[in-house]
Amino acid sequence: MSPSLIVNLLRFLLLIKMLSNRTVSVLKWGRCEAYAAVYPKVPDWVLNFSPLPSLSSPHRNLSAFPAAQSEHLQQKMSENGALPLRGKVLTVDTMNANVKKVDYAVRGPIVQRAVQIEKELKEGVKKPFEEVIKANIGDAHAMGQRPITFFRQVMALCTYPQLLDDNKFPEDAKNRARRILQSCGGNSIGAYTTSQGIDCVRHDVANYIQRRDGGIPSDPDNIYLTTGASDGIVTILKLLTAGEGRTRTGVMISIPQYPLYSASIAELGAVQINYYLNEEKCWSLDISELQRSLHAAREHCNPRVLCIINPGNPTGEPIRSFPYKKNSNDIYKGCEFHSFKKVLFEMGPEYSSKVELASFHSTSKCYMGECGFRGGYMEVINMDPEVKAQLTKLVSVRLCPPAPGQALMDLVVNSPQPGEPSYQTFMKERTAVLSALAEKAKLTEEILNTVPGISCNPVQGAMYSFPRITLPERAINEAKAKGQAPDMFYCMKLLEETGICLVPGSGFGQREGTYHFRMTILPPTDKLKIMLNKLKEFHQKFTQQYS
């Protein structure tokens, strides 16, 4: 792009900005400029035509307006109350109103303060603790979980194919890498892929789903690889959002919920419909509550979507009274896995040929814990062919998901099998991670339930607990006086006094009059014990202070 064209484009942007503020307009033709000042209070124009400086001039810039005329314009603008020349086009008042409604507690004020405290500790500021323990987010590797060797071997081979000649890598890892690379443009994982995802990976995902569901067919054409599960969820919500007023799309989400859902609903201008999980029954889902929520919502919107998070986030529970969809990797001992798709097909053609279902999975959690690769997939069932074409178009706008994330997703659904060189090591590592998670889940429940004023349901799935806390009335009143939710007040004091970073239950939704916090069970067992005991001491001290 030539310098003159860049200058013209910049001047055009300035023209748009000035016109939007009704202050000064810059019009250009050939080597001349016309400067026009428009005043909101009176129809007054000040015009000036002047030649542009040459391209070689060191003074050629957007302020090349002659000084005398510039002073005259400023004087006239001041006299007539015009807006300032440098007023912003994009302000909080002019931005997308839906974006301002978005809230994401998992990375909200508590976490921002935790980052500040970490900086203060590095600068030598004295605190009653030596480190910040971030138990606010399910980032397994950040909390010390070790990557699975086989996954990292294949990823290394994919990103640096010269290693395929290295005899330190097992042959099954090399075979996986070669197969993935051969499906990439130029045999490079750095190339764009098709928008729906690498073909061989989608076939592997379909085969995995078919094995998981006992032989129920899965069509690779119904598989879309995504940038983590979140990307697929938002994409489906975009397709479903429509209408205005009472016809606006209503989206039913569980309370407590993962803030991705409420944030996406707000951003898209849809209507959030809450249905409450039953805390007294280990966060179970009651069909009667779904029916109550649906009936109430029909008064003010058009309910079209039911979102089910399973195992629960933030509750850490599998759904008991309703079949769940998430991969069995996230379920601990004592719970049998049933996918939504499998149950749907077991209900017979009347349902399996009609119910529209979108299911999501990712590489981010459980024994994989590979959050940063942003790998995921979604399977769509019974989607209208014309709508499916629109879905494909929509994902095409973003070109493709990250190719490394797609490759990693392939390894999750196509892991080492008996007889392959990597199988024993893979199973040993996988089992160790899952056993550690189960142990930490039990440890969290047991220690928290010894604290008067804290009650914690069993953590049987996912990697979170959502304990209920009883707060003294004085603490509740002080929090309200500060304009804070009581559990936000509690969690902020916990952070300042102990360095433990949790997320208040108010960021996830909870029944009126109840208070909770969400914490991950991911820290190493020794650090988790320290954290839980610190939490126990803090709660006892907090209760005494405000009683």
pLDDT tens digits, residue range 190-213?
888 988 899 999 999 999 999 988
Check whether 35 has a pLDDT greater than 70.
Answer: no
CA distance 172 to 177: 9
Q: Residue 465: its pLDDT value, please?
A: 86
| Closest to 434 measured CA to CA, from 145, 49, 130, 45 | 145
> Same domain for 333 and 462?
no
Range of the domain at 400: 5-32+155-420
Find the mean pLDDT for residues 45-53.
43
Task: Check which CATH number belongs to the domain holding 219 and give it.
Answer: 3.40.640.10
Check whether 88 has a pLDDT greater than 70.
Answer: yes
> Same domain for 409 and 429?
no
| Count of C-beta atoms within a 10 Å radius of residue 496 | 14
> Same domain for 244 and 373?
yes
Residue 6: exposed, middle, or buried by beta-carbon count in 10 A (0-12, 13-18, 19+)? Answer: exposed
Output the pTM of the full model: 0.75
Strands (E), 372-513: 375-381, 454-455, 464-465, 468-469, 500-501, 503-504
> Lowest-confidence range among 61-65, 529-533, 541-545?
61-65
In percent, the amount of the chain with pLDDT more than 70 equals 76
Residue where a domain stops, chosen among 390, 420, 450:
420
> Same domain for 365 and 250?
yes
Q: Which residues contact 399 (CB under 8 A, 6 or more apart)?
A: 192, 195
Residue 466: exposed, middle, or buried by beta-carbon count in 10 A (0-12, 13-18, 19+)? Answer: buried
Residue where a domain stops, chosen among 365, 396, 420:
420
361 in Cβ contact with 326 (< 8 Å): yes
Q: Residue 17: its pLDDT value, please?
A: 52
Q: Which residues contact 415 (CB under 8 A, 6 or more apart)?
A: 150, 426
Check whether 249 has a pLDDT greater than 70.
Answer: yes
Find the mean pLDDT for residues 83-92.
64
> Same domain for 429 and 411?
no
127 in Cβ contact with 120 (< 8 Å): yes
Q: Is residue 67 part of a domain?
A: no
CA distance 343 to 350: 13
Q: Residue 318: its pLDDT value, please?
A: 54
> Same domain for 384 and 416?
yes
CA distance 179 to 198: 11
Q: How far is CA 376 from the centre of its chain?
A: 13
Find the mean pLDDT for residues 73-88.
55
Number of domains into which the chain is organized: 2
Quick: pLDDT tens for 139-198: 888 888 899 999 999 999 999 999 999 989 999 999 999 999 999 989 998 888 988 899
> Same domain for 487 and 388?
no
Q: Is residue 25 part of a domain?
A: yes
Q: Residue 23: its pLDDT value, please?
A: 46
| Count of C-beta atoms within a 10 Å radius of residue 292 | 13
Check whether 405 has a pLDDT greater than 60.
Answer: yes
Q: Is residue 230 part of a domain?
A: yes
Q: Is residue 48 part of a domain?
A: no
Q: What is the DSSP letter of 131?
A: -
> Same domain for 345 and 296?
yes
> Same domain for 438 and 524?
yes
Quick: pLDDT tens for 296-355: 988 888 888 888 877 666 665 555 433 333 334 444 455 566 788 888 888 888 888 888
Q: Residue 512: its pLDDT value, please?
A: 87
Residue where a domain stops, chosen among 369, 393, 420:
420
Q: Residue 40: its pLDDT value, please?
A: 44
323 in Cβ contact with 306 (< 8 Å): no
| 380 bridge partner residues | 358
Phi, psi of 17, rounded to the nearest 5 degrees: -60, -45
Mean pLDDT over the full length of the chain:
80
In percent, the amount of the chain with pLDDT more than 90 equals 26
Helices of type H across 450-547 = 473-481, 486-498, 525-546
> Same domain for 438 and 539?
yes
> Same domain for 165 and 259?
yes
CA distance 238 to 308: 17
pLDDT band at residue 55 under the 50/70/90 scheme: very low
Check whether 28 has a pLDDT greater than 80.
Answer: no
The SS3 call for residue 241 is coil
Q: Is residue 248 part of a domain?
A: yes
Quick: pLDDT tens for 356-402: 888 888 888 888 888 888 899 999 988 889 988 888 988 888 888 98
Does 36 or 448 have the greater pLDDT score? 448
Q: Residue 74: its pLDDT value, please?
A: 54
CA distance 54 to 7: 12
CA distance 65 to 67: 6
Q: Residue 540: its pLDDT value, please?
A: 93
